[in-house]
Amino acid sequence: MKLHFIGADHEVTGSCHMIESGGRHFLIDCGMEQGADLYENQEIPVNPAMIDFVLLTHAHIDHSGMLPALYKNGFKGHIYTTAATADLCSIMLRDSAHIQEFEAEWRNRKARRAGLPMYEPIYSMDDAMGAIGLFVPCDYGKKIDLGDGITVRFTDVGHLLGSACIEIWLKEGDIEKKIVFSGDIGNTDQPIIKDPGAVDSADYVVIESTYGDRLHGEVPDYVSAFTRILQETFDRGGNVVVPSFAVGRTQEILYFVREIKSKGLLHGHDGFEVYVDSPLAIEATTVFDKHAYDCYDDEALALVHQGIKPFIFPGLRTTTTSQESQQINFDKHPKLILSASGMCEAGRIRHHLKHNLWRRESTILFVGYQAEGTLGRKLIEGANVVKLFGENIEVAAHIEQLEGISGHADRDGLLNWMSHFQEKPEHVYVVHGDDKVTDEFAGAITEKFGIPAFAPYSGGEVDLATGETVSEGIRKPLKAAEKAAERHADSVFDRLVQAGKRLMNVIMHNEGGANKDLSSFTNQINALCEKWDREPQNDEQK
């Protein structure tokens, strides 16, 4: 009876854990790492073909995204999850496979020209469809007997439509243990979906810590804050571009826009158009409607009972083809553009950033967590220049965040969720958080509840029968020196850009100067350009 820690250990993405019990092996989540990786993950300790089944907490790619790869490598068991998560994964895993295949095609065009080896995608559309065929939808609140002394139950945890914490009862001989995986615990008072449910007993708890070191503060007036940003940007003649997660966050933004329009809160731009430029988001919205009675909170359900569609309003435009997407930025009228991915790492959002980042009148509005190393994080942290499609783009647009809007519980929310256990668990394992945050939150749990807690690294192992920690895992930094060099290079390049801006200011200050002096200045600049002019490097060469 063992628990293995594989992914999202001292890191935020790539959740994956494995349990051995009663001669069976099963995973809890099988997620894809997103953004920069700090530590090297260990491999799943058994062949994928030996994994009997998977339990999935929710549909986000950092929890589900490697299921097609698992299938590709031999896994053919069932994937148990909630009905809403199964429906969302049906579209999200297909979308992920499309991205994998598209990236492979792009890389291989370049590889063929350079005589380099071909790049194989992580998985294909066939692999995604194979994995989707293994899903078994489950109801909230019902115990499911999986045989060999293993019973599970899904409880709504309010993070995303269909999200759940998972209770697992294990029996091996005379030993019985219960372990609870929190999944991602939702924030309270979110629009649309219910607040997190609680669990009252466990021997062991594996809990996330995404916001384990901070507080969200008072629940903000999202609609007022959003209205201000729209008003100011449209008055300047710019676009509001929202890098938005297609599942969950996009629906929340549409929910806010419907209210803004229905109450006439925007002045002088009543008929403004809203573009949802994400086929995935469009499909996901239909899944939300399908599961309204299972997952919506009282306020959203009240709209449904009145015959009001929470995500539909005048001026809503949806785009599915690339051609339709490209046309959006040719329209000069101020507009709201919602596009994926939410961290700006892939997808159509990068095209909209290319067209709007350099425009001082536009606003890039972030409405979700931005992982370390992602383009979204760089923009929030004040990058002056970013590279998109091999081109350096000046960041002149307003960069804003809709403060407080988060699908994750903050530190107090996580501790509150822990407080519902009527008897102290034997041990708590803290995962799914930034490197220092996991250790800090483990300390907070021990201080508040008197429960032993620690944050394992990938490769960590616990004997659930005895509670003994066999291994805390392998703390192996991944290319730390290269990451430091990249950060230094970015900072040096930013200084170069600032020097270029200063040069332009000097040029403008010399307007009207003597022709002889201006000619000499021009020759000096041209000499510098001749010396330093180089072929632009693409993202892969950088």
CATH of the domain at 283: 3.40.50.10890
The answer to whether residues 208 and 227 belong to one domain is: no
Q: Please tell me the distance from the alpha carbon of residue 81 to that of residue 154, in angstroms, as a whole number.
A: 8
The pLDDT of residue 269: 94
The runs of H, that is alpha helices, within 148-296 are: 222-236, 249-262, 279-290, 292-295
The pLDDT of residue 537: 39
The pLDDT of residue 133: 98
Helices (H) and strands (E) in the chain, counts: 16, 23
Give the position of tokens 């243990």.
177
* Phi–psi pair at 476, nearest 5 degrees: -115, 100
Q: Please tell me the distance from the alpha carbon of residue 117 to that of residue 132, in angstroms, as a whole number.
A: 31
Specify burial of residue 447 (Cβ count, 10 A radius: 0-12, 13-18, 19+). Answer: exposed
Question: In this structure, what token pair is assigned to residue 223?
Answer: 């609609």
Q: Please tell me the distance from the alpha carbon of residue 345 to that of residue 347, in angstroms, as a whole number.
A: 7
Amino acid at site 407: G
The pLDDT of residue 156: 97
**Using the 8-state DSSP alphabet, how is residue 513 labeled?**
-
The pLDDT of residue 372: 75
Residue 330 lies in a domain: yes
Amino acid at site 283: E
Domain residue limits at 280:
222-401
Q: Are 168 and 179 in contact (CB under 8 A)?
A: yes
State the pTM of this model: 0.80
The answer to whether residues 351 and 266 belong to one domain is: yes
Residue 307 lies in a domain: yes
The answer to whether residues 268 and 320 belong to one domain is: yes
Residue 88 lies in a domain: yes
Mean pLDDT by runs of 10 across the 542 residues of the chain is 96 95 97 82 94 97 96 98 97 89 84 86 95 98 96 96 97 96 93 94 97 86 94 97 89 95 93 92 92 93 94 93 90 93 86 96 90 87 92 95 84 97 96 94 97 95 95 79 49 66 72 80 81 48 34
Q: Please tell me the distance from the alpha carbon of residue 265 to that of residue 269, in angstroms, as a whole number.
A: 10
The answer to whether residues 380 and 454 belong to one domain is: no
Residue 73 lies in a domain: yes
Question: In this structure, what token pair is assigned to residue 131?
Answer: 């994995």
The pLDDT of residue 539: 37
Exposure of 239 in the CB half-sphere (CA atoms within 13 A): 25
The answer to whether residues 310 and 384 belong to one domain is: yes
Residue 465 lies in a domain: yes
Residue 538 lies in a domain: no
Q: Please tell me the distance from the alpha carbon of residue 461 to that of residue 467, in angstroms, as a whole number.
A: 10
Q: Please tell me the distance from the alpha carbon of residue 225 to that of residue 403, in angstroms, as a whole number.
A: 8
The answer to whether residues 327 and 258 belong to one domain is: yes
Residues shown for the chain: 542
3-state secondary structure of 275: strand
Contacts of 54 (CB under 8 A, 6+ apart): 26, 27, 28, 29, 30, 67, 70, 75, 77, 78, 79, 80
The answer to whether residues 208 and 239 belong to one domain is: no
Q: Please tell me the distance from the alpha carbon of residue 419 to that of residue 401, in angstroms, as a whole number.
A: 31
Q: Please tell me the distance from the alpha carbon of residue 432 to that of residue 185, in angstroms, as a whole number.
A: 11
Query: In this structure, what is the dihedral angle of CA atoms 7, 11, 15, 19, given to the nearest 10 degrees?
Result: 50
The answer to whether residues 209 and 228 belong to one domain is: no
The answer to whether residues 417 and 446 belong to one domain is: yes
Contacts of 4 (CB under 8 A, 6+ apart): 17, 18, 19, 20, 44, 45, 459, 460, 461
- Residue finishing a domain among 378, 401, 424: 401
Residue 241 lies in a domain: yes
Q: How many CB atoms sit inside 10 A of residue 206's CB?
A: 26
Which is nearest to 138 in space by CA: 78, 58, 82? 82
The pLDDT of residue 132: 98
CATH number at residue 134: 3.60.15.10
3-state secondary structure of 367: coil
Domain count across the chain: 3
- Residue finishing a domain among 421, 448, 471: 471
The beta strand positions in 335-421, using DSSP E, are 335-339, 363-366, 385-388, 391-394, 398-401
The answer to whether residues 343 and 227 belong to one domain is: yes
Residue 540 lies in a domain: no
Exposure of 502 in the CB half-sphere (CA atoms within 13 A): 6
Q: Are 466 and 489 in contact (CB under 8 A)?
A: no
The answer to whether residues 194 and 262 belong to one domain is: no
The answer to whether residues 194 and 313 belong to one domain is: no
